[in-house]
């Protein structure tokens, strides 16, 4: 379906809501089953310290997802900025982990692509 002339393909509100929902899901997985997330994403196991750090990262993603859940239109623009920076940098870093870091998890490339795409989609509303 084509967007109406002058209308964005997805509204800033819908885009931030989708991105925030993904981060909330990832947060829950990191908090509850960090070993499985590490295995699927990186193809490696976590040590005791790694599990603790993964859970703290999950708590941070939980906070990011909740903070970016769209309220009013101005809140959606501010959330778009935060999610733009996060998604773009996360996508670049995940790509680096696959290409230069030697990690080979099943979900590493899909996560990399998803973050880059979300970052690019959020660029316009974030940089307005």
What pLDDT, on the 0 to 100 scale, is given for residue 1? Answer: 38
Q: What is the residue whose two structure tokens read 């733009």?
A: 84
What does the pLDDT look like over 57-81, one tens digit per residue?
999 999 999 999 877 666 677 888 9
Summarised one tens digit per residue, pLDDT across range 78-95 is: 888 999 999 999 999 999
Q: What is the mean pLDDT of residues 4-16?
A: 70
Average pLDDT estimate for 41-62: 94
In this model, does residue 8 exceed pLDDT 60? no
Three-state SS sequence of 85-102 = HHHHHHHHHHHHHHHCCC
State how many domains the chain has.
1
Does residue 2 form part of some domain? no
Do residues 68 and 19 touch, judged by C-beta distance below 8 A? yes
Domain carrying residue 48: 12-127
Nearest to 58 by CA among 37, 80, 79, 89: 37
Q: What is the pTM of this model?
A: 0.81
Q: Is residue 6 part of a domain?
A: no
């Amino acid at each position: 379906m084509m967007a109406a002339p002058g209308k964005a393909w997805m509204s800033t509100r819908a885009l931030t809501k989708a991105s925030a929902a993904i981060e909330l899901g990832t947060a829950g997985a990191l908090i509850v089953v960090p070993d499985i997330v590490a295995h699927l994403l990186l193809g490696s196991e976590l040590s005791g310290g790694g599990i603790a750090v993964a859970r703290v990262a999950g708590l941070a993603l939980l906070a990011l997802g909740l903070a970016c859940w769209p309220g009013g239109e101005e809140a959606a623009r501010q959330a778009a900025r935060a999610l733009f920076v996060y998604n773009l940098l996360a996508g670049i870093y995940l790509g680096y982990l696959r290409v230069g870091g030697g990690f080979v998890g099943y979900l590493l490339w899909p996560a990399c692509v998803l973050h880059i795409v979300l970052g690019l989609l959020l660029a316009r509303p974030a940089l307005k």
